[in-house]
């Protein structure tokens, strides 16, 4: 069994991992870390939840600390490209956390916010930059940023970047980065488009692949019911009772809604517990333990509280409310699906949540058809069919030789951010 101690990481990183409570490397970490430390290019097939962020962050930070930088302001030596604002922030946060004891500086830049603020942060120097492609191009084109000392490039969730139309942007970014570099590509799936991307940007890559920790969203049967907000609690208890649902994780948007839903369910004699940030650590652990042991049938949680919960492989989750961040939807439904079986995700969608639904559709590239709540009798769901969802085929890979009309600056960033997070543009 691989241990962190057997991976060639410096004492500061080992201590940080202990403090974070990481006891042993996950499979992707055990495979990827030695290869990245050797300087190899990597094509890794791994999904969110497998520990993929640490699998590239740790060996890259290790490499940075082995050849310390002496220049001020610090040049960017690691660049991570990621498809969304949320992911860039998450990765930068993790990088910052892993590298803190070594004095590493990591920041995230993404579209939809003022360029000037991000420029100011960059001026102070940064070792690790995590960026969405559109915003990065804007910074590069305007010469606010130089990547001539870049040593390591990571394409994180490369499949999503292609889905979101970033392939042109990636191609242009490559003109700004040194030819001599290490490149790591992470993707949830490895299809032809990803292979082609790897063929263009990676040099003799090692390939690694790990089984999904969670079933991919594509294996989850999704249902979306059109309901009135005021009827949600009633409909939920109907689904639980008539549908004979067993262990179910239910997501509500706020702590208040979690509490009032739990009270409602208990009045209906349904065994439900709450999980949110206002509860003490002890209360949370107890609720979680009871849910895992099967003593608690229904756990109602906010996204934030659910993030740290080590539960997946549930038969179903229910979105009592849709999340206002579409990524949260993907995380939520990814918790379902036992080995070899598909999971189910039900969403109760009220009229004021249509906008959230559209954002989820834009991000996941699925159409979620709203239906009325089905007739459910004694465990039998008279369901027409799942709301889903054929993933449209990706656009063919662009021909690098074809000439294109230049797009206005920031074009990619704005278009994508608008598709995914329209609220950013309402200000
Ligand atoms: P990721 O797949 O990178 O999104 O990581 C999923 C979660 O797993 C994050 O919350 C990490 O902090 C956590 N994590 C990553 N590696 C380990 C590990 N070796 N042991 C325990 N938790 C980990």
Is the pLDDT assigned to residue 175 strictly greater than 80?
A: yes
Query: Mutation test of ligand 1: which of 16, 49, 53 has the most ligand atoms closer than 8 Å to its C-beta?
Result: 53
Query: Mutation test of ligand 1: which of 48, 54, 82 has the most ligand atoms closer than 8 Å to its C-beta?
Result: 54
Mean pLDDT of the chain: 85
Is the pLDDT assigned to residue 405 strictly greater than 60?
A: no
Is the pLDDT assigned to residue 384 strictly greater than 50?
A: yes
Report whether 165 contacts 365 (CB < 8 A).
no
Helix axes 133-141, 411-420, angle to 10 degrees: 150
Between these two residues, 78 and 331, which has the higher pLDDT value?
78
Estimate the share of the chain in helix, then strand, then coil, as percent rounded to the nearest 5: 40, 15, 40
Dist. CA 136 → ligand 1 center (Å): 26
* Domains of the chain by start residue, with CATH: 5-209 (3.40.50.300), 220-389 (3.40.50.300)
- In this structure, the residue with its CA closest to atom 19 of ligand 1 is 25
Among 163, 153, 131, CA closest to 77: 153
387 pLDDT band (50/70/90 cuts)? confident
Residues 6+ apart with CB under 8 A from 107: 92, 118, 121, 122, 126, 128, 129, 130
Dist. CA 311 → ligand 1 center (Å): 13
The residue-averaged pLDDT of 301-310 equals 74
Dist. CA 340 → ligand 1 center (Å): 23
Task: Give the lowest-confidence range in 34-38, 40-44, 349-353, 393-397.
Answer: 393-397
pLDDT tens, residue by residue, 238-272: 999 999 998 999 999 999 999 999 999 999 999 99
Is the pLDDT assigned to residue 105 strictly greater than 80?
A: yes
393 pLDDT band (50/70/90 cuts)? very low
Report which ligand 1 atom has the smallest distance to the Cα of 52. 3
The predicted pLDDT at position 23 comes to 86
Name residues contacting ligand 1 (CB within 6 A).
Answer: 22, 25-26, 29, 48-54
Which secondary-structure segment (H or E) carries 135?
helix 133-141
């Amino acid at each position: 069994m691989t241990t962190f101690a057997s991976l060639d990481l410096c004492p500061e990183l080992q201590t940080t991992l202990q403090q974070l409570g990481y006891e042993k490397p996950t499979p992707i970490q055990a495979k990827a870390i030695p290869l990245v430390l050797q300087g190899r290019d990597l094509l890794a097939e791994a999904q969110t939840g497998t520990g993929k962020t640490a699998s590239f962050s740790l060996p890259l930070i290790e490499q940075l600390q082995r050849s310390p930088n002496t220049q001020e302001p610090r040049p960017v030596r690691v660049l991570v490209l990621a498809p969304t604002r949320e992911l860039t922030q998450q990765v930068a946060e993790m990088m910052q956390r892993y590298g803190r004891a070594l004095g590493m500086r990591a920041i995230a830049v993404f579209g939809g916010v003022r360029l000037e603020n991000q420029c100011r942060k960059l001026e102070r120097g940064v070792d690790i930059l995590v960026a969405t492609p559109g915003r990065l191009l804007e910074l590069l084109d305007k010469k606010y940023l130089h990547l001539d000392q870049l040593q390591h490039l990571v394409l994180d969730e490369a499949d999503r970047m292609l889905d979101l139309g970033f392939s042109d942007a990636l191609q242009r970014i490559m003109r700004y980065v040194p030819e001599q570099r290490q490149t790591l590509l992470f993707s949830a799936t490895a299809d032809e488009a990803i292979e082609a991307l790897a063929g263009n940007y990676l040099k003799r890559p090692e390939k690694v692949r790990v089984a999904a920790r969670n079933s991919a969203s594509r294996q989850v049967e999704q249902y979306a019911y059109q309901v009135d907000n005021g009827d949600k609690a009633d409909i939920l208890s109907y689904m639980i009772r008539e549908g004979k649902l067993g262990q179910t994780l239910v997501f509500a948007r706020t702590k208040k809604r979690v509490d009032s839903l739990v009270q409602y369910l208990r009045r209906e004699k349904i065994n439900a517990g709450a999980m949110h940030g206002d509860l003490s650590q002890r209360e949370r652990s107890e609720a979680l333990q009871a849910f895992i042991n099967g003593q608690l049938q229904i756990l109602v949680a906010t996204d934030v509280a659910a993030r740290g919960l080590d539960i997946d492989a549930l038969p179903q989750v229910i979105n009592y409310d849709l999340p206002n961040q579409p990524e949260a939807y993907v995380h939520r439904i990814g918790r379902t699906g036992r080995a070899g079986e598909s999971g189910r995700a039900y969403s109760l969608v009220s009229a004021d949540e249509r906008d959230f639904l559209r954002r989820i559709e834009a991000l996941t590239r699925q159409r979620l058809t709203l239906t009325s709540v089905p007739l459910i009798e004694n465990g039998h769901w008279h369901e027409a069919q799942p709301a889903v969802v054929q993933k449209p085929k990706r656009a063919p890979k662009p021909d690098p030789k074809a000439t294109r009309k230049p797009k206005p600056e920031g074009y990619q960033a704005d278009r994508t951010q608008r598709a995914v997070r329209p609220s950013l543009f309402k200000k």
